[in-house]
Amino acid sequence: MSDIKENLHTVLDQIKEAALEANRDPSGIRLVAVSKFHPAQAVEEAMDWGQNLFGENRIQEASKKFDKIRAEGKNPCLHIIGSLQRNKVKEAVRIASCIESVDRLELLEEIEKQCAKIHKSIDVLFELHTGEESKAGFADYASMEVAAEKLSQGLFPHVTVKGLMTMAPNTDDLQAIRNSFVTCRECAQKLSESFPALDFSELSMGMSADFKIAIEEGATLVRIGTAIFGERNYSA
């Protein structure tokens, strides 16, 4: 049995177990298999074992990989999870069904512009900065509120917000990790109360090292790379 198959099944079992322990329905949690730095072949192998949702953080790499897979007639679903430069948005909206890492109003404007050009609707998550070291994400509730306000005014008709994403700090301090997820959940709650016409039900929280805590705190999407595909070789 290949490592990917075994790892995938282990991770899916762990997600289910964590959900049940948290008194949650396991079907309310979807796995985003983060395939960055791994080849198309690894994605296809995971697809062979039933995984259809993937996450990538570098646009050029993702385009190459997913164009190749789709040229073979396969149809994986792709979420962009990494910080996105304005000049990469055109390509990002072409290849992805969701951009999880929307962290500024300017990006939302560019996503709308590029989606309108190709008559495509796209889902987005607002990334909230809750971790210590990474700078990515909206800084706070107030900055997300401004973006939500514009969405609720109908300024971005090709863009549908679905919820929030966050990355916990990379630390052994379990309480700090939990706090990060709680902050994200509370912000989503507050946004859905303030903007009842918008959907903030998705919480993309948790990676290989911390997804159990994320599930306890309400994650609906977990983004897991290493535990499925193994260590990434950044020098390759």
**Contacts with ligand PLP, residue ranges (CB under 6 A):** 34, 36, 57, 81-82, 167, 207-209, 223-227
Give the shortest CB-37-to-ligand PLP separation in angstroms: 8
Task: Kindly tell me which of 171 and 208 has the beta carbon lying closer to ligand PLP.
Answer: 208
Give the shortest CB-116-to-ligand PLP separation in angstroms: 27
Give the shortest CB-211-to-ligand PLP separation in angstroms: 8
- Cα(130)–Cα(54) distance, integer angstroms: 23
DSSP assignment string, 148-184: HHHHHTTS-TTEEEEEEEE---SSS-HHHHHHHHHHH
Task: Kindly tell me which of 34 and 184 has the beta carbon lying closer to ligand PLP.
Answer: 34
Give the shortest CB-9-to-ligand PLP separation in angstroms: 16
Task: Kindly tell me which of 116 and 136 has the beta carbon lying closer to ligand PLP.
Answer: 136
Give the shortest CB-11-to-ligand PLP separation in angstroms: 9
Task: Kindly tell me which of 153 and 225 has the beta carbon lying closer to ligand PLP.
Answer: 225
Task: Kindly tell me which of 197 and 234 has the beta carbon lying closer to ligand PLP.
Answer: 234
Written as six digits, the tokens of 132 are 């210590």
59 with 101: CB under 8 angstroms?
Answer: no
- Which residue is closest to ligand PLP by CB? 225
Give the shortest CB-117-to-ligand PLP separation in angstroms: 27
Contacts of 206 (CB under 8 A, 6+ apart): 168, 181, 212, 213, 214, 215, 219, 222, 223, 224
Task: Kindly tell me which of 11 and 40 has the beta carbon lying closer to ligand PLP.
Answer: 11
What angle separates helix 174-194 from helix 141-152, to the nearest 10 degrees?
Answer: 30
DSSP assignment string, 63-131: HHHHHHHHHTT---EEEE-S---GGGHHHHHHH-SEEEEE-SHHHHHHHHHHHHHTT--EEEEEEE--S
